């Protein structure tokens, strides 16, 4: 049976845009503000996480007294300020692949654990391409690595998640997409991602074409 590509689902942070340095800068700024210890390893441990999970980690690691929601709000404000100062660093080939999907009339969705205010502010700066649906961390009860974000994206697009390709850069995101039944294209960035399961590693999105994605899905053998 032919497996026809129904949609391409993109992660945001580290995949479409390299925001991870801004997240880490905001985390270090919080640690300095509260006189707490924080290391690069702490920052890398949060890559791809649900923000509530990250907020809980930060609260415990820094010994903060405010609520997790307040920690997340403060962190997001810091990240948004850092991105505004640095400007968005679009990852090589990401916007080109998105635009190519648009041109080929392949539905697309953004699936991110960032909250709506941050994702929207970043997407407003995109010079090309558009998403047909957007799923953010504040829209789901269970974030990555649970399958919920990707299942919701497939539902919003009216497609079968098992006939979608997800593009991710983190172990947490890849696990979420896989759990939803998606085939995963991994473009590693700041953290290593294993090639276990239905994952295809690519060094960059720069030369990836829509036809390459179609072929990957057609050749995929599900266990």
Q: Which residues are catalytic?
A: 11, 13
101 CB-contact burial (10 Å; exposed 0-12 / middle 13-18 / buried 19+): buried
Rounded Cα distance between 204 and 82, Å, is 25
Omega before 145 within 30 of 0, i.e. cis: yes
DSSP letter assigned to residue 175: H
Q: 181 by DSSP, 3-state: which?
A: coil
Tokens of 194: 């294993």
Burial 46-75 (b: 16+ CB within 10 A, else e): bbbbbbbbbbebbbebbebeeebeebbbbb
DSSP of 20-40, one letter per residue?
HHHHHHHHHHHHHHHT----H
Beta strands in the chain (DSSP E): 7-10, 108-111, 133-135, 164-168, 183-186, 199-201
């Amino acid at each position: 049976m032919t497996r026809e590509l129904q949609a391409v689902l993109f992660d945001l942070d580290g995949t479409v845009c390299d925001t991870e340095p801004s997240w880490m800068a905001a985390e270090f700024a919080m640690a300095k503000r509260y006189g707490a210890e924080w290391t690069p390893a702490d920052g890398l441990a949060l890559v791809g996480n649900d923000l509530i999970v990250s907020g809980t980690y930060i609260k415990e690691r820094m010994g903060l007294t405010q609520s997790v929601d307040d920690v997340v709000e403060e962190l997001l404000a810091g990240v948004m300020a850092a991105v505004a100062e640095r400007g968005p660093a679009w990852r090589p080939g990401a916007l080109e692949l998105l635009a190519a999907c648009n041109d080929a009339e392949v539905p697309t969705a953004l699936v991110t654990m960032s909250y709506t205010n941050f994702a929207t502010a970043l997407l407003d700066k995109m010079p090309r391409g558009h998403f047909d649906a957007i799923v953010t961390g504040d829209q789901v009860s269970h974030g990555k690595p649970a399958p919920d974000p990707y299942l919701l994206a497939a539902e919003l697009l009216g497609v079968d998640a098992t006939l979608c390709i997800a593009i991710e850069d983190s172990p947490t995101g890849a696990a979420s997409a896989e759990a939803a039944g998606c085939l995963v294209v991994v473009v590693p960035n700041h953290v290593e991602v294993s090639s276990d399961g239905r994952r295809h590693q690519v060094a960059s999105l720069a030369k990836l074409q829509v036809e390459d994605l179609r072929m990957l899905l057609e050749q995929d053998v599900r266990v």
